[in-house]
Amino acid sequence: MAPRPWSHIPIADNGEPLQALPAALFRLEPHPYVAVGAPYGEQASPFRLRQGVIDRLLTAQHWLQDQHPQWRLAVFDAWRPLEVQHFMVQHAIRGECARLAVDPEQPSPQREAVVAEVGRFWAPPSADPRTPPPHSTGAAVDLTLITANGEPLPMGSEIDAIGAVSEPDHFQRRAADLPAGPEREQCLRWHGHREALAAAMAAAGFARHPNEWWHFSHGDQLWAWLQQRPQAIYGRWGLRG
């Protein structure tokens, strides 16, 4: 997988601990990666973030409900140790190979293409403290919107979908090429939901991943790169002891 354009950003971790998400933040359970066997261990919970990130998530939810009283944030995934990152990258590669009828064990141009495409969405499970995967820092969160009844709002694609359909502006671009009618209105509705999520998160100081409508972070290298900050404030959790 190719290096990220933000990998050169220096990190000065501020030492904030990971904390469990409060009850005010809805969790999508059962956790999807635990369900497929990701190795968190008995004592590790994915529903944890740095305290400053949790505070901003609560701010984002308040902003969202000021604009859309019947909607809430719903957390899909948060902290992710390196072992889980490695497991899920391989899981995603195997899943895409199966979908495209590519042998995941046999080197080939087709397999290389799958690995490259998966790499647009899944960060390498780097053990180098200078290049931590975003979720390993406790600064990144994957989330969506739900109604007051707990029903997820349609976003046009599932979280973790591989391909252009997951790019934040995909349905806006698609709608521009469609004539007036139900399909165009559906695309615009999906785009509107994505933008409502992005607006709430931006209001609380988060940055959105360029390829993923669901991924936001505050304080990691990706955030620093997008916000033109000189350094990140969160590195991989656990390196400070």
Which amino acids are annotated catalytic? Answer: 212
- Distance, in Å, from the CA atom of 45 to the CA atom of 57, rounded to the nearest integer, reads 18
- Distance, in Å, from the CA atom of 128 to the CA atom of 86, rounded to the nearest integer, reads 14
In three-state form (DSSP H/G/I as H, E/B as E, the rest C), the secondary structure along 25-57 is: CEECCCCHHHHCCCCCCCCCCCCEEEHHHHHHH
Could you say which DSSP state residue 222 is in?
Answer: H
Q: Which two tokens stand for residue 209?
A: 């991943």
Among 171, 174, 168, 175, residue whose Cα is nearest residue 214: 168
- Distance, in Å, from the CA atom of 116 to the CA atom of 112, rounded to the nearest integer, reads 6
- Distance, in Å, from the CA atom of 140 to the CA atom of 223, rounded to the nearest integer, reads 9
Q: Which two tokens stand for residue 204?
A: 């609380």
Q: Which two tokens stand for residue 86?
A: 């490695």
Q: Which two tokens stand for residue 26?
A: 């809805």
- Cis omega (within 30 of 0) for bond into 134: no
User: Is residue 59 within 8 Å of 204, Cβ to Cβ?
Assistant: yes
Buried-state track 206-221, b at ≥16 Cβ within 10 A, e below 16:
bbbbeebbbbbbbbbb
